[in-house]
Amino acid sequence: MDSFFRAFVEVYLILQFKRKKVNLTIGDLVMVVDENLRGTVTRLEEEKVFFECEDGFEYCYQRSQLLKPVDDGIEFELSAHKAYDSFVSTEPNTFELPIQHHKNKWLIDLHIETLAPKRNFVLQHEALLFQLEVIKKCIEAAIHKRQRKIIFVHGVGKGRLRHEMRYFIDHHYSGIEYFDGDYRDFGFGATELIIHDFNQDDFS
């Protein structure tokens, strides 16, 4: 499962869960929305759910903050792929790429408040999905226009966007090199790309 589709499935899972109330029982596996935390339910107190993680610690969250992962059945896989295809086909192609210029390089600020100041993302995963789509479109445009160098400014934060972007590049673009952006200009919050092969197929 590639990075972009994996991020989409996380959003799809959460939205499907929110549409239908799922009963939780002791022993169920749960995961926290927008946090890398999951464990086994140990006790239930009205809207409070207590669960134990692999590290042995017990956590307590509101039921609304948790979701129950769906088994990897063929029905869910087909449903998720269908929803993903629909999302990609309806994502507006008229979105203007946020390209600035820094010396002889493209500069793209991936902060959500810059990319989509009027767009409301209910979940962090939705914002991540949107950022990955922008990255994909910028790389494709650079290949098409033979622009060799790109800088993506992603900030520091928890490092999720930086990790997902590099995973995405590793698995779809063999002719692209990346490394940390110039610390003097961007601190630790940027990744610079150099495209060595303009003949590779665009990601699809």
Mean pLDDT, residues 118-125: 68
Q: Where would I find the H helices in the chain?
A: 3-19, 74-90, 112-115, 124-145, 160-172, 183-186
pLDDT in tens, 154-168: 988 778 888 888 888
Q: Give the separation between CA 131 and CA 133, rounded to whole angstroms.
A: 5
What's the pLDDT score for residue 62? 86
Gyration radius from the chain CA atoms:
20
C-beta of residue 202 within 8 angstroms of C-beta of residue 136: no
pLDDT at 94 over 60: no
What does the pLDDT look like over 17-37, one tens digit per residue?
A: 554 456 788 998 888 866 667
pLDDT at 93: 53
Beta strand 149-153 with 105-109: parallel, antiparallel or unpaired?
A: parallel
Task: Assess whether pLDDT exceeds 50 at residue 4.
Answer: yes
The owner of tokens 């590639």 is 2
Q: What percent of the chain has pLDDT over 70?
A: 69
Cβ–Cβ < 8 Å for 47, 24:
no
Q: Report the distance separating Cα 195 and Cα 106, nearest Å.
A: 12
The Cα 33–Cα 84 span in angstroms is 20
Phi, psi of 101 (to 5 degrees): -125, 130
State mean pLDDT over 64-70: 72
pLDDT-derived band of residue 180, with 50, 70 and 90 as boundaries? very high
- Residue ranges of domains in the chain, CATH in brackets: 3-67 (2.30.30.140), 90-195 (3.30.1370.110)
The mean predicted confidence, pLDDT, of the chain is: 77
Residue 200 pLDDT > 80:
no
Q: Per-residue pLDDT averaged across 94-100, rounded?
A: 75
d(CA 195, CA 116): 27
Q: Is the dihedral of CA 161, 20, 122, 63 positive or negative?
A: negative
What band does 95 get if pLDDT is binned at 50, 70 and 90?
low
What are the structure tokens assigned to 67, written together? 């979701």
* Residue 196: CB atoms within 10 Å: 11
CA distances in angstroms from 195 to 2, 26, 182, 198, listed in the order given? 21, 51, 17, 7
